[in-house]
Structure 1
Amino acid sequence: SKQATNHFSVLFYCLKIITKELDNQVPLVDEIDTKVDKATSDIKNTNVRLKQTLNQCFR
């Protein structure tokens, strides 16, 4: 029926918008993931240096 076709058209349009938005967000999520990985690495390195410093202080 015409009404079903209209509903399908609306759903298809919404799907296109959602797909485009997801495509736009992929680079942002990738960038956040990279920054979190770097922050984790920096924290681990800082913890190693802190442990070394504390060990030197208490020798």
Structure 2
Amino acid sequence: TETAFLVLDYLMENFPKLVDYQYTAKMEEVLDLVEEGKKDWKSAVRELFKEITDGSPYPNKLP
């Protein structure tokens, strides 16, 4: 749909890592570690969030 393309364009412009194949592969690996109990979910989210927002005009801090 047109909305889907608009959202994708927005993500590609503002959060290019989020739609990058290497990044999403890494995200899957990190989420697997969380599922296996080998990584804390909060640290995983912080790590992944920092990578996504690095260089973006948006705040890169989690509460």
TM-score by length of 1: 0.30
Say which structure is richer in helix: 1
Q: 1 or 2 for the larger relative contact order (CA 8 Å, sep ≥6)?
A: 2
TM-score by length of 2: 0.29
